[in-house]
A and B are shown apart, each in its own frame.
Chain A
Amino acid sequence: MQSKYLIVGSSHAAIEAVAAIRMIDTDGTLTLLTRDAHLPYSPTVLPYVVSGRSQPDNVGLRDAAYFRENAITFVPGAEITSVDPARSIVRLVPGETWQYERLLIATGAAPSLPPIKGLSDVPFHVLRSMDDAVGLKQAMAKAKSALVLGAGLIGMHAAENMAKAGIKVTVVELQPHALSTYFEPNASAIIERAFTTHGVRMLMGRTLASVVRVGEGVAAKLDDDTVVDADLLLVCTGVKPNIAFLNGSGIETAAGVLVDDRMRTNVANVWAAGDVAQARGFWGDKVVNGILPNAVEQGRIAGADMADDAGVQPFPGAVPLNTYSFFGQQAISVGRSGGEGNEVTETGSDTSYRHIVLEDGRLVGISTINDFVDAGIMWQLILRRTDLSAVKQAFVANPQLTGRQLMSQHWR
């Protein structure tokens, strides 16, 4: 089998690359290989599949008609085992090979499991694929108690869903507060309080020492010897890029696949984008920035470059960004939280919060809770290094309004 453009993966980075390629090259052969059995979907929607808000068959990002109309070959259930750039081929599990002219690696990430004694011997769930979500939903129907390991976005979403379903939930997190990648301790406190109020036991700054099987469930012993029994164990301790199949290919990897500003790897005719890629960080070293908008942006750049789009714009650098809803409340975080010599303002109450970081009069980070700011505008202000000196007071007092005013002026 062969394809001019071969894309491995089928989530946001992959489908954005497809769109960008088809914008330039409407008939070059284009093939999407994915190990998943489903039509393209977003890992971000999975907590909502678990909660029942979304139906598994109603969250497709593209359908068969789209592939047909755009002359795209979609191959589900195809897991690749190796890449041979010298011969421009990838190998699949059943021994099949695909030859490519241009290859995009958009294989995303998989749950990263912590080294906990006994974990491999007990039943537990993760949440990264549609099958995981459906399995977790089924298990929840039978569980009365649950232990969630990891207070990141996936763990917190799942904990909320389970609490709403009437399950007694305990969340254990190694970091001293929840969602520490995105939020300051005072912000996390508001989020944690919402969970506690809804009956979730939040054990922060702890980890599991060991876990054993008890019937259908588990008994976990924490590092302070507390024992937590649960019918259901969900492990959400982060993800790691799916790069094992690249061993021996000559494609350079560190935490993820190392790419330049056009998402090119060190090997000719091979690109990488999305959660699997390690690209320029806006403030320095190359980073894996495993967030949806980042995958969209990188996928577009990779696709444009693969199709020789003369208008391809280099990647400006990864900025951490997230929007998070919990128990009907909203948390938003764009950029970074600190830095030497930065000007930080933190305001808030029991129910709302705002944290703004300025560097030389320019925005480098903002996070809010129940205080909506337009993440897209904040992101642009950071990327453009917009000088806020003249409007600093207004911005700190009302970042939403000032941000909108500034962007409107930009577009004039």
Chain B
Amino acid sequence: MTTCFPTLQFRADRCDGCGDCMTACAQAKSGTDNLAQSRIRIMPAANGGGPELALCRQCADPICVANCPSGALVKNAETGVIDWAGSKCVNCLLCTAGCSYAGIVYEAEVGHITKCDTCDGDPACVKVCSKGALEYRTEVRVFNEYADKEDLFCRGLSACHGCNSELLIRHTMRKVGPDSVVACPPGCIPGMGTVGYNGQTGAKVPTFHSLLTNTATMLAGVKMQYNRVGRDVTAIALAGDGGTSDAGFQSVSGAAERNDPILFICVDNEGYMNTGMQSSGVTPYGSWTSTTPVGGAMKGKPTEAKNLPVIMTMHNCSYVATASTAYLEDYYDKLKKAIEVSKTGMAYLHVYAPCPTGWRFPSSMTTEVCRMQVRTNFIALWEYDPANGLHFTHPVERPEPVKNYLKLIGKYKHLSEEQVAHIQRTVDDKIGYLRQLTQVKAGIADPKHSSEPLYRQTPQ
């Protein structure tokens, strides 16, 4: 299997050219502040603007290595870093002829070529960047870990072009694995064929089509039966926001209160997208939907979305988290915890799933829309358990204005400036409220909650 490697990411739009990264690099590599020793170079642009970057890209198919006559440069198969062995280097500089990035350069003061070695995967430059311009991106570990795992849905699911939910369920079930049983209430996920059509099933694991109203209880019952017969399976619900927040809520709420040992995933596309884009309880204020149209009187949904994941924390179930497919590493970490937790208690994952068809944005923009939800704080990534309370897993310290997110999406295109300002206030309030919750710590924990399953197996 192909292995992918972490990488240093530079975001020019955040860089102010302060040069702290270069000083930190020079310090890490030579113990001095001599910038000639820095392996990263930030420059102004030739015609104003910028800044620009010169840095080793750790190419997958590196020409510097191909140009090396002495075997001093080697692409390390374990780390992905292009390693330089000073003892073998003959200082011929032919490597520099192979690089179009000025990632491997000669400085007379140093006396040999230099290049970034990522500080063994813990780059000094990233640690000192106070602007968020440099990041060390490690998401590829998800690919390395799961690319070879079996996709538990068949090919050719009939989801819309650019569907975020299809991406999500394929990822999810790769991680959950084949020892599982899936509940799908009516919604896009069964609609795209996961529960089957023409007598065939779209999933490679047992899947059942529950009602909108009974998914959580039915799944908990199925899980009990598996426990009875002594089979360790993950009982997982892949439900939409309608099947979770509206018609399905009483059963979800009951299962959470009882802390039933299931993994409930709410795929939140902010409405009933499968049946014609009707509004749901989590549709945000101002959204156009077929039941909250834009006309003379109504300007999209007049009421706010209820904050379902926060409501779920109030049930004191074992684990609650929010997630986004634009931050897969974060999602996989949470999914891992949720799978473990669901052996004994209820884990609830609320995954935000922008919908190109129902929200009116180009199908190529799905992941960008997901990313902008987080970067504007329109949604927040956090996790909660009764012992540790709520904390952010991807705090956004310098959020972009929410209008940058809203303007990507057709269902908001009618919004007046007042409405946008209102949404911005709501976003700020919501984040402020979550921040307060992070201070509570284990304050609302209930000792009822223990590691023992609430329902014990009854021997036959």
Contacts and interface: CB of A to CB of B under 8 A. Distances in A.
Q: Do A and B bind each other?
A: yes
Interface of A: 12, 16, 41-45, 48, 53-54, 58-61, 292-293, 296, 300, 321, 323-325, 328, 330, 332, 334, 370, 372, 374-377, 379-380, 390-391, 394, 401-409, 411-412
Contacts of A296: 63, 66-67, 98
15 contacts: A59-B71, A292-B94, A296-B66, A296-B98, A325-B91, A330-B108, A376-B96, A377-B99, A391-B47, A404-B43, A404-B52, A408-B43, A408-B45, A409-B46, A411-B101
B100 to A, nearest CB: 5
B98 A376 contact: yes
B90 interface: yes
Contacts of A324: 92
A374 B88 CA distance: 21
B138 interface: no
A293 B98 contact: yes
A323 B100 contact: no
Given A325-B93, A391-B47, 17 more contacts: A48-B70, A54-B70, A59-B69, A292-B67, A323-B92, A323-B93, A323-B96, A325-B92, A330-B93, A375-B96, A376-B97, A376-B98, A405-B46, A408-B52, A409-B52, A411-B101, A412-B12
A42 B92 CA distance: 12
A159 B70 CA distance: 20
B66 A408 contact: no
B41 interface: yes
A377 B46 contact: no
A195 to B, nearest CB: 18
A293 B43 contact: no
B236 to A, nearest CB: 37
A79 B97 CA distance: 32
Interface residues of B, number: 35
Nearest to A394: B46
Nearest to A400: B102
B70 A370 contact: no
Contacts of A45: 69-70, 90
Nearest to A331: B93
Contacts of B52: 404-405, 408-409
A366 to B, nearest CB: 12
A42 B70 CA distance: 7
B349 to A, nearest CB: 36
B346 to A, nearest CB: 47
B19 interface: no
Interface in B45-66: 45-47, 50, 52-54, 63, 66
B106 A372 contact: yes
B46 A402 contact: yes
A334 B108 CA distance: 19
Contacts of B101: 376, 407-408, 411
A10 to B, nearest CB: 14
Contacts of A332: 93
B105 interface: yes
A408 B90 contact: no
Nearest to A53: B90
9 nearest A-B residue pairs (beta carbon): A42-B69, A408-B52, A44-B69, A323-B93, A375-B97, A405-B46, A376-B99, A45-B69, A48-B90
B50 A405 contact: yes
B106 A330 contact: yes
Interface in B79-113: 88, 90-94, 96-102, 105-108, 111
Nearest to B107: A372
Contacts of A41: 69
B44 interface: yes
Contacts of B54: 404, 407-408
Contact of B93 (A375, A406, A409): A375
Contacts of A293: 63, 67, 94, 97-98
A263 to B, nearest CB: 16
A59 B92 CA distance: 14
A332 B66 CA distance: 19
A41 B69 CA distance: 7
Given A58-B88, A59-B70, A404-B52, A376 B45 contact: no
A53 B86 CA distance: 11
A377 B102 contact: yes
B105 A372 contact: yes
A390 B41 CA distance: 23
Interface string B106-136: 1110010000000000000000000000000
A12 B66 contact: yes
A225 B347 CA distance: 96
Most buried by A among B45, B50, B53, B93: B93
Given A323-B92, A370-B108, A407 B102 contact: yes
